[in-house]
């Protein structure tokens, strides 16, 4: 993590935060990096290794310690996801999604719900997925169609019908935090439910054949008269859209951190290759054109790191402009870091296109970060509204 030093100095990371970086990097180097290409090639979901991170506190990074969480801040979380993503962005992003789902229960659930769900989630005995996007509603999240209707004696249950699209971990996760419509069209009619995997009527589509993130399954989550106890509703009817939007600020920082870690790995690979590859009688890193390219990659990487750490610090402090900074960091970091990974592939020439060098995997994995947690076009819209509203 030497490349993190400038940002570390800027934000005066304390001893505990440096220890978090070192612990995470050591775990990733031993348990993730040696197997990432194989997982990608075989489309293998290493749920056993993901669950191992529960012992490190990664199942509830910013969850209360009374339910087994680590009680850390958003900057701490960014350091963890960045270090994990240097080994495999898809691995890191799955843990990020789990943490976002757990945070929603921790923040908006009743004390009974927190005690019922979170201890098994923070230990990663239970893995969680988040279900917002639908086949016809992505960026327009308030237009979702999945519906929940009161059923059972005295309204003791809800019946859910509908389909969620692009759900990471679907079919393998144990818990699903689901946004469903309980009222009229629009944001005020959306509610949030915690749905266990064994809920009657919960089904899953086939695994999607994706460009990247091959190591984690992505499927539709299908509700066909799915029965969910009313006690699994978070914060009452109509609170769902507010819960979803509140979770996205942190989720955007997390996915930006996954891009940052992947881009750092890509730059490291490019530096190593450029020092070894000989052309026209000398190592290619001796050519000024390539030196300028490497310098620009480093400048852009450090700018991304500083912007992301700034945004995370603002969210920790609950600064009034934290939402704007989360959107800015997500847009800037995911776009910039994808470009860095793509430049690293170009530096490798034809070898960059081969799976065994690991660079093309990083390009494929980082591309989706520009889409999820709100597309980067939506990030621009959020920033513009902050500016105009000001």
Distance CA(343)–CA(313), nearest Å, equals 29
DSSP, collapsed to helix, strand or coil, labels residue 59 as coil
Catalytic residue (choose from 125, 360, 373, 377): 373
Q: What Å distances lie between residue 217 and 168, 221, 352, CA to CA?
A: 6, 12, 25
Token output for 160 = 């859910």
Distance CA(274)–CA(286), nearest Å, equals 9
Backbone angles phi, psi at 268, to 5 degrees: -60, -40
> Which secondary-structure segment (H or E) carries 178?
strand 175-181
Q: What Å distances lie between residue 281 and 206, 291, 293, CA to CA?
A: 52, 17, 20
Distance CA(326)–CA(13), nearest Å, equals 20
- 286 Cβ partners below 8 Å, 6+ apart? none
DSSP, collapsed to helix, strand or coil, labels residue 196 as strand
- Do residues 226 and 200 make contact, with C-beta atoms less than 8 angstroms apart? yes
DSSP, collapsed to helix, strand or coil, labels residue 60 as coil
- 51 Cβ partners below 8 Å, 6+ apart? 124, 125, 127
293-315 burial, b for 16+ CB within 10 Å, e for fewer?
A: bbeebbebbbebbebbbbbbbbb
Torsion sign across C-alpha atoms 284, 286, 289, 292: positive
Distance CA(332)–CA(32), nearest Å, equals 27
Closest CA relative to residue 82, chosen from 16, 4, 168, 169:
4
Respond yes or no: is residue 373 known to be catalytic. yes
> Which residue shows structure tokens 């969850």?
63
Backbone angles phi, psi at 42, to 5 degrees: -90, -5
Closest CA relative to residue 39, chosen from 165, 169, 262, 217:
217
Q: Give the residue numbers marked as catalytic.
A: 373
């Amino acid at each position: 993590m030497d490349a993190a030093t400038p940002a570390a100095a800027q934000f005066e990371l304390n001893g505990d935060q440096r220890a978090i970086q070192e612990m995470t990097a050591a775990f990733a180097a031993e348990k993730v990096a040696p197997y990432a290409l194989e997982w990608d090639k075989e489309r293998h979901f290493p749920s056993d290794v993901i669950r191992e991170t529960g012992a490190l506190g990664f199942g509830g990074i910013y969850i209360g310690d009374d339910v087994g969480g680590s009680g850390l801040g958003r900057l701490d979380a960014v350091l963890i996801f960045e270090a994990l993503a240097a080994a495999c962005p898809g691995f890191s992003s799955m843990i990020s999604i789990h943490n976002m789902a757990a945070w929603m229960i921790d923040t908006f659930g009743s004390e009974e719900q927190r005690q019922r769900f979170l201890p098994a989630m923070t230990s990663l005995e239970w893995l969680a997925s988040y279900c917002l996007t639908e086949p016809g509603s992505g960026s327009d999240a308030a237009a979702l169609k999945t519906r929940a209707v009161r059923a059972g004696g005295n309204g003791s249950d809800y019946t859910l019908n509908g389909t969620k699209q692009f759900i990471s971990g679907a079919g393998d996760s144990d818990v699903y935090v689901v946004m469903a419509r309980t009222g009229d069209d629009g944001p005020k009619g959306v509610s949030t439910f915690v749905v266990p995997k064994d809920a009657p009527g919960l089904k899953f589509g086939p695994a999607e054949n994706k460009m990247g993130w091959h190591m984690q399954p992505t499927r539709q989550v299908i509700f066909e008269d799915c029965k969910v106890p009313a006690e699994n509703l978070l914060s009452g009817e109509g609170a769902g859209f507010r819960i979803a939007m509140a979770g996205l600020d942190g989720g955007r920082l997390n996915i930006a951190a996954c891009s940052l870690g992947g881009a750092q790995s890509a730059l490291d690979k490019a530096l190593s290759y450029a020092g070894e590859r000989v052309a026209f009688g000398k190592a290619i890193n001796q050519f000024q054109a390539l030196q300028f390219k490497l310098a620009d990659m480093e400048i852009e990487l450090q700018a991304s790191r500083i912007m992301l750490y700034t945004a995370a610090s603002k969210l920790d402090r609950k600064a009034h402009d934290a939402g704007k900074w989360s959107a800015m960091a997500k847009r800037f970091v995911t776009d910039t870091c994808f470009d860095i990974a793509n430049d690293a592939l170009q530096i490798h020439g034809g070898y960059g296109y081969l799976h065994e060098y690991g660079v093309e995997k990083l390009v494929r994995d980082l591309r989706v970060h520009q889409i999820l947690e709100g597309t980067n076009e939506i990030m621009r819209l959020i920033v513009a509204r902050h500016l105009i509203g000001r």
